[in-house]
Amino acid sequence: MNFYEFCSRMNDNTKETERLKKPSWLRVKLPIGENYRKVRNLVDQHKLHTICESGSCPNMGECWGEGTATFMILGNICTRSCGFCAVQTGRPEAVDEFEPGRVANSVKIMGVKHAVITSVDRDDLKDGGSSIWVQTVKAIRVQSPQTTMETLIPDFAGKWENLQRIIEVAPEIVSHNLETVRRLTKEVRIQAKYDRSLELLFRLKKEGCGLNLALC
């Protein structure tokens, strides 16, 4: 095959590739609409963080377009560097004591019936951020007593006194992601431990907490 034949064949292959269409389920709609703008303005106005943005979720436009969002507390910088997550890793800023109130106020403004809250890992804090978790749950209950909550919590580095604070405030659902199987945990969840996550779930179940188990 000479050079010109090679170029011609490459050109044919390029044209064939261009003809291949992406499947419809792979396409993400542009974030538009009144509901999206309301959520966008609310997040910006109250200086809130969402896992939708910080985690670079491709479904953000769809969810925000339906007027829903998952609040992320304790800042948007995580002390861990899990391989599956797009949240920034580094040294977090100081805890914002006013954050629980802003989240609660936003839940009330949005008229959320079921609020989903998650957080970054804060291994830099002695209490793992559990006090802010508790304050957030309590603040939402004060402003929106009919709103139920799902709290997607970290493992608090196995410091179970911090987990106990979550148990005592008793959100309707407590979630904790395993993300992967034991064999791949060290590679995928670098600073996490599979058995520690199992222990956390066992303690929640033992205390009668409503669980939402997720093995992604």
The arithmetic mean of pLDDT across residues 33-56, rounded, is 78
26 contact partners, CB below 8 Å, separation of at least 6: none
Greatest CA separation for the chain:
77
Neighbours of 124 (CB within 10 A): 12
117 contact partners, CB below 8 Å, separation of at least 6: 70, 71, 72, 73, 103, 136, 137, 149, 150, 151, 152
Considering the entire predicted model, what is its pTM? 0.78
Residues paired with 68 in a beta bridge? none
Confirm whether 18 is domain-assigned: no
Residues paired with 212 in a beta bridge? 175
| Token pair recorded at residue 171 | 């959100």
Answer whether 144's CB lies under 8 Å from 168's CB.
no
Give CA separation, 141 vs 62, 101, 151, in Å.
Answer: 27, 11, 13
| Token pair recorded at residue 166 | 């979550």
pLDDT higher than 80, residue 34: no
Confirm whether 79 is domain-assigned: yes
Chain-wide mean pLDDT for the chain? 84
Confirm whether 19 is domain-assigned: no
Total domains, the chain:
1
Q: Using the CB atoms, write b or e for 166-198: b if 16+ within 10 Å.
A: bbebebeebbbbbbbeeeebeebbeebebeebe
- The residue among 211 and 160 whose pLDDT is bigger is 160
pLDDT of residue 35: 74
With tokens 């910080």, the residue in question is 54
pLDDT of residue 208: 84
Instruction: Quick: pLDDT tens for 133-143.
Output: 999 999 999 99
Confirm whether 84 is domain-assigned: yes
Confirm whether 10 is domain-assigned: no
Confirm whether 208 is domain-assigned: yes
Q: What is the three-class DSSP state of 179?
A: coil
* CATH number of the domain residue 171 falls in: 3.20.20.70
Output the CA angle 213-103-74, nearest 5 degrees.
Answer: 65
DSSP codes, 19-31: HPPPPGGG-----
Parent domain of 84: 33-214
Confirm whether 27 is domain-assigned: no
Confirm whether 168 is domain-assigned: yes
- Looking at residue 119, the DSSP 8-state letter turns out to be E
